[in-house]
Amino acid sequence: MASFLVHSAALVAALAVLPELVGEFWAYTLALYFLYAIASLGIGLCWGQAGFLPLGQAMFFGLAAYLSGLSLIHFKDSWLLLLLLPGAALAPGLLAWGIGLLVFRGRTLSGPFFAMITLALTLLAFQIANSWNDVTGGFNGLKNIPGLPGLGEFTDLYYVSAAALAVCVLGIAWLRRAPAGVLWRAVAQNEQRVRFCGFAVQNVKALAFGLSGVLAGIGGALYAPQQNLVTPQLCGFILSADLVIWAAVGGRATLYGPVVGAVLIGILTADLRDEISYWEVILAAIFIVVVLYFRQGLMGFVEPPFERLWRRRVGRTLDGPARSAGPRATGFALDDVRVRVGSVSILEGLDLAIDRPGIYCVIGPNGAGKTSCFNAMTGELPVRSGSIRIFGRARTGAAADFLSRIGVGRKFQAPSLFPDLTVAENFNVGLWGGRARLGDLVRMRSHLWSSAILREAQARFPFLADEDRKAGDLSHGQRQILELVMVLIAEPRLILLDEPSAGLSRAETREVIEAIRWVTGRLDACTVIVEHDMTFVRELADRIFVLHQGRLLASGTVAEIQADERVRAVYVGASA
């Protein structure tokens, strides 16, 4: 908090004295580019933090400008402006949020398809603004828009823009460090793991897009009274492209990068466009070079040391809230489940049921359908026929985030983590899932959450106590353990573990075995493990299920499976 207050005071002081240093004309010019900078902050939020690129930011900027201009023209002396101007800023945010919810529902529309959709929308907005003469003024736009009541001089306009920029920068600074910011960066790195931590990824991304729309709306709503003119170009592709270029060159993943890019590159463009014939070509080349070779942008060389100071941790002092109580039933049942991908049958009428707590192992040769069984249960593979019941209710095709929230945890074959986040941030995403409410995602104290299971895991595996270390810097075995702990600290009652001992030393394997026993007993959970290490299986399994060619071949105790001739037949050369 102290760092944030110092940061805030320094920013406000710098913006306050700037007009005295640059003069009235440049203060007016800066005021305009401050508004563009606010919109560019939204690009940084979506592209630099949450990992998706919006190419239609100008649509929201222009929409707010038109709404603000129309409000000032028709209600310039009315108290309704107190509602209409904030509404003009918020309306684009609501529109962006709605678009995000629709688009991000389909996983295939989260990447370049999303960028193309937003590009198409901004082209459509430009055409509407250009042709709807009765409302927008058509090609000529809205003219003679009144200024904000009580403001007249250039310096007044500067301070309004500067105040808006300061509020937006500090708001984004807070969110970037808050749990919401961690969650956005997690989504950019590994959407699948975020879903299995209990978060609806489409909602997380839609919220980021909605906030970017609000930022564009604030800039656009102030643009109309400052420039006294709104034209269709404000909704067009050129401004959208400029905002993307400014964010990239300044540093899309940094806090001040979009601001520096908008102000510095924007002012250079205004001055040099008429003097250098091929300025746009030069700017496009700079953009390409930055995106390919200097992705951190200009501020990427300046901000990181200050970011590390901001991130300094003080330790975990709070036990997080208890998870919401889920269904009382336990276990699961697969009834004649069939899964086909293209022409390949993966599960062929699989029947598998477990109805009580304990530790169970699923074995079988490669291609038997073990991992596919987990994928079908957690909605990663579509079920062609049959039914899946989890905790006594039909869950066929249920989304992974929903299953996580009701108490299903899953570890994958290959470690599924957030490599560019710290160990602490990986833990936090696991702790917040199923526990954090919307308010918790903007509170810094949520970073201090802990749990008895986390403390026990750190005692068993001391490397986990180095929470400031990046997860990507861990060894393969350490990443396996980190993912396992992320699953366990969510306190699931159905735990699905896919080869948890892969890549571990004997000592680490022994610790993992003891940890699984301890957590299963403590949570009264049903733990199902896919494993090839038969020593591991013999140590843990209360009961073993053997799959072969997508069907259940046999089930029983370790001794019963060892004596089963059918199992021996499919395990040629193996000691089962």
Domains of the chain: 2-235 (no CATH), 357-368+407-570 (3.40.50.300)
Residue 524 pLDDT > 80: yes
Residue with tokens 């918020």: 90
Tokens at 469, concatenated: 């270390």
Q: Could you give the angle at the alpha carbon of 56 between the alpha carbons of 235 and 124, nearest 5°? A: 55
- Give the Å distances, CA to CA, from 570 to 293, 374, 422, 499, 562: 52, 21, 43, 20, 12
pTM of the model: 0.92
pLDDT value at residue 554 = 94
Measured N-to-C along each axis, helices 81-103 and 201-227 cross at an angle, to the nearest 10 degrees, of 140
CB 355 within 8 A of CB 333: yes
CB 186 within 8 A of CB 418: yes
pLDDT value at residue 10 = 80
pLDDT value at residue 277 = 76
Looking only at the bridges linking them, the beta strands covering 385-390 and 393-394 are antiparallel
What would the pLDDT profile of 24-48 be if each residue is shown by its tens digit?
777 888 899 999 999 999 999 999 9
Q: Which of 14-23, 115-124, 505-514 has the lowest mean pLDDT?
A: 14-23
| Mean pLDDT in residue range 472-488 | 94
Looking only at the bridges linking them, the beta strands covering 318-319 and 229-230 are unpaired
Beta strands in 205-357 (DSSP E): 229-230, 318-319, 332-341, 344-354
Q: Is 416 helix (H, G, I), strand (E, B) or coil?
A: coil
pLDDT value at residue 316 = 82
Q: Sign of the C-alpha dihedral, residues 553, 554, 558, 564?
A: negative
Q: Is 179 helix (H, G, I), strand (E, B) or coil?
A: helix
DSSP 364: -
DSSP 373: H
| Mean pLDDT in residue range 423-448 | 94
Count of CB atoms within 10 A of residue 385's CB? 13
Q: Which of 56-65, 258-267, 372-381 has the lowest mean pLDDT?
A: 258-267
Q: Is 530 helix (H, G, I), strand (E, B) or coil?
A: strand
Residue 310 pLDDT > 70: no
| Nearest-angstrom CA–CA distance, 195 and 100 | 17
Looking only at the bridges linking them, the beta strands covering 385-390 and 358-363 are unpaired
Q: How confident is the model at residue 4 (pLDDT cuts 50, 70, 90)?
A: low
- Give the Å distances, CA to CA, from 507 to 130, 191, 502, 547: 70, 32, 13, 29
Tokens at 242, concatenated: 């400029």
Count of CB atoms within 10 A of residue 235's CB? 30
Residue with tokens 């735990």: 495
CB 400 within 8 A of CB 379: yes
